[in-house]
């Protein structure tokens, strides 16, 4: 956790500003949240701790981290980083704000963004990732000590100040238009990544993954329309080859992990080689 970035954080109970207090964060009303040894803060409030939907499991997170380390999704991360880097350049230093990845998983996209900004000679802003999965956030904090990670439930309100963000990333995560609009600064950029219709189609046919909703992109744009207008639109489509272990990681890391039969996973493990389509819709939105 970056001390300089705590200024963007608010208490998930009362929305008061959080401040460092020893190895914890505390708001003026006295609500206190421990900062874990790995450097992340758990800002889940009790009433949400027992909800059934607890986010990615440890096994899903491990599969995701292994798969992403293979580099097959680097082109996606670079496309996202390109949009955000341009946005930060255009805003300039006079309009600082953080960059938030809502549903950040293992912090892969924030990490690639940081690398991209450093390669450009730009000073990265505060990079903040939130996820409802403690397993994901713990991994993200371990892998990216120079970013700030929070366990938080978007449905309960992202624990960040109003209009704190110069850019918000939402990569394959649930979207709440009103909440995303609250986070974004005026002139900020929302980057939404959703699966295109052919995403992982070959693997889905072989092992039976969760299908992609048709017209997904239009549905997303419509759900965001009261708060956002489309600014950039890009379909990123390419093929990559996987063998059994990577195919099984792909099956285990996504929503299919919740209901894939062991036999389907075993079938994925046995694949010798499969060419898979990556089909991403990478869209930029501006607040209205
Ligand atoms: Zn509070």
The token pair at 97 is 């704000």
Distance of CA 152 from the midpoint of ligand 1 (Å): 14
The token pair at 255 is 């929503």
State the Rg of the chain over Cα. Answer: 19
Q: Using CA atoms, how far apart are residues 168 and 33, in angstroms rounded to an integer? A: 24
For residue 157, the tally of other CB atoms under 10 A from its CB is 16
Q: For 22-145, where are the E strands, in sequence order?
A: 24-26, 32-34, 41-42, 98-102, 127-131
The pTM (predicted TM-score) of the whole model is 0.94
Distance of CA 241 from the midpoint of ligand 1 (Å): 49
* Beta-carbon contacts of residue 73 (< 8 Å; ≥ 6 apart): 67, 108, 278
Residue 253 has pLDDT above 60, yes or no: yes
Distance of CA 267 from the midpoint of ligand 1 (Å): 49
Distance of CA 131 from the midpoint of ligand 1 (Å): 20
Distance of CA 144 from the midpoint of ligand 1 (Å): 27
Between 193 and 211, residue with greater pLDDT: 193
Confidence of residue 263 (pLDDT cuts 50, 70, 90): confident
Question: Which candidate, 101, 281, 286, places its Cα nearest to that of 189?
Answer: 286
Distance of CA 26 from the midpoint of ligand 1 (Å): 7
Q: Using CA atoms, how far apart are residues 258 and 59, in angstroms rounded to an integer? A: 11
Distance of CA 33 from the midpoint of ligand 1 (Å): 10
Distance of CA 104 from the midpoint of ligand 1 (Å): 24
Question: For 28-45, what is the mean pLDDT?
Answer: 94
Distance of CA 10 from the midpoint of ligand 1 (Å): 8
> How far, in Å, are 14, 214, 236, 261 from residue 198 at the CA level?
43, 10, 11, 22
DSSP conformation class of 159: S
Distance of CA 6 from the midpoint of ligand 1 (Å): 14
Residue 52 has pLDDT above 70, yes or no: no
Q: Are strands 127-131 and 98-102 parallel, antiparallel or unpaired?
A: parallel
Per residue in 160-192, pLDDT tens? 999 999 999 999 998 999 999 999 999 999 999
* Beta-carbon contacts of residue 17 (< 8 Å; ≥ 6 apart): 7, 9, 10, 11, 27, 28, 161
Per residue in 269-285, pLDDT tens? 888 999 999 999 999 99
Confidence of residue 265 (pLDDT cuts 50, 70, 90): confident
Per residue in 112-162, pLDDT tens? 999 999 999 999 999 999 999 999 999 999 999 999 999 998 888 999 999
Confidence of residue 204 (pLDDT cuts 50, 70, 90): confident
Distance of CA 186 from the midpoint of ligand 1 (Å): 26
Distance of CA 75 from the midpoint of ligand 1 (Å): 40
Residues belonging to the chain: 288
CA atoms in the 13 A half-sphere facing the CB of 99: 27
The token pair at 223 is 């759900």
- The CA-based angle 117-139-69, given to 5 degrees, is 65
pLDDT at res. 53: 55
Distance of CA 111 from the midpoint of ligand 1 (Å): 30
């Amino acid at each position: 956790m970056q001390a300089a970035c705590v200024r963007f954080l608010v208490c998930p109970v009362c929305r008061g500003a959080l401040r460092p207090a020893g190895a914890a964060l505390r708001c003026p009303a006295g609500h206190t949240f421990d900062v874990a040894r790995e450097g992340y803060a758990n800002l889940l409030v009790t009433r949400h701790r027992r909800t059934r939907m607890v986010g990615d499991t440890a096994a899903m997170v491990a599969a995701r981290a292994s798969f992403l380390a293979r580099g097959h999704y680097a082109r996606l991360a670079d496309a996202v980083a390109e949009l955000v880097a341009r946005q930060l350049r255009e805003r300039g230093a006079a309009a600082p704000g953080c960059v938030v990845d809502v549903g950040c998983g293992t912090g892969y996209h924030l990490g690639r963004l940081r690398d991209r900004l450093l390669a450009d000679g730009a000073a990265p802003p505060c990079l903040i990732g939130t996820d409802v999965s403690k397993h994901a956030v713990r991994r993200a904090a371990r892998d990216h000590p120079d970013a700030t990670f929070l366990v938080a439930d978007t449905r309960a309100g992202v624990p960040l100040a109003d209009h704190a963000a110069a850019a918000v990333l939402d990569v394959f995560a649930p979207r709440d238009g009103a909440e995303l609009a609250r986070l974004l600064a005026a002139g900020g950029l929302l980057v939404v990544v959703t699966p295109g219709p052919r995403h992982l189609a070959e693997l889905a046919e072989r092992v039976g993954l969760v299908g992609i909703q048709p017209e997904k992109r239009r549905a997303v744009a419509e759900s965001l329309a009261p708060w956002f207008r489309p600014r950039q639109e890009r379909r990123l489509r390419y093929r990559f080859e996987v063998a059994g272990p990577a195919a099984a990681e792909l099956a285990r890391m996504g929503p299919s992990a919740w209901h894939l039969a062991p036999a389907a996973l075993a079938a994925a493990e046995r694949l010798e080689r499969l060419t898979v389509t990556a089909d991403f819709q990478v869209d930029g939105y501006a607040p209205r």
